[in-house]
Amino acid sequence: MNAEYDGELGAPVQDVAQEAIDAVAVTYSSDGGIDVEEQLRAQLSGRGIRAADATWVAEVARQIRSGHEVRVGRSDGSMDGA
């Protein structure tokens, strides 16, 4: 993952990114009409992460839309069962 982040995240950047990915995947599972790439950028940005590689965002979005589990870090479990 190629990312830049603002300030102190309080956790490894990969773990924070994983929470964003999980949030988008959960949202997409209940609303297949969302723009996955836009939502992923918004979730990352909301957590202080700017994805420096547009190709990475597009690939993660494709994997989410395909129903694949995307892992870049460890989730804290807050999105499990949501």
pTM (2 d.p.): 0.78
Residue 59 has pLDDT above 60, yes or no: yes
The pairing of beta strand 3-5 with beta strand 49-51: antiparallel
Residue 78 per-residue DSSP state? T
Span 38-54, average pLDDT: 91
Give residue limits of the domains in the chain: 3-65
pLDDT digits (tens, 9 = 90+) for 7-31: 555 678 888 899 999 999 999 999 9
* pLDDT at 65 exceeding the cut of 80: yes
